[in-house]
Copies of this chain bind each other. A is one copy, B any other.
Amino acid sequence: MKDKSMILFKKILQSEGLRYTKQREVVWSEINGSNEQHRNADQIYLSIINKSKVKVSRATVYRTIDVLVKHNLVKKIDGLENGSLYENRLDRKHHDHMICLETGNIIEFYNKELELLQDQIAEEKGYKIVRHVHQLFVKPIDS
């Protein structure tokens, strides 16, 4: 599994004419292997620094994430207050996010009807959706 994802990553690097390096490996393995699904670049960077013996800089974290996002291994969540969050996308299906304003907790949701409705709205105006951002900022019902 860890192996499969790394092979896939290598193929992507190849397809882009990029080299396979320890730094790139460790960035992808940190994102892909962590239970933390919603972290910013700095959290990912610090996590690597703490547990990995490989030296990696913030610049390289950002540069590697760019490649991962481009090839849909990682999803970038933006539109939040302070920078973007990143989540592993490999073997995960599409979903959007509900962000609790009281706890900062992030809840994932997916609704097929809603997705279809979106497509339809775009189509009616003569467009097709390339990507979308759908975030619900919420509070617990009893608050």
Chain B residues lying within 8 Å of A138, measured Cβ to Cβ, are 122, 127-130
Interface of A is mostly: strand
Number of copies of this kind of chain in the complex: 2
- Which residue of B has the minimal Cβ distance to A125? B107
How far does the Cβ of A130 sit from chain B's closest Cβ, in whole Å?
A: 5
* Interface footprint category on A: 20 to 34
Q: Which of A116-143 contact B (CB under 8 A)?
A: 117-118, 121-123, 125-141
A121 to B127, CA, bound (A): 26
User: Which A residues are closer than 8 A to B by beta carbons?
Assistant: 78-79, 98, 100-101, 107, 109, 111, 113-114, 117-118, 121-123, 125-141
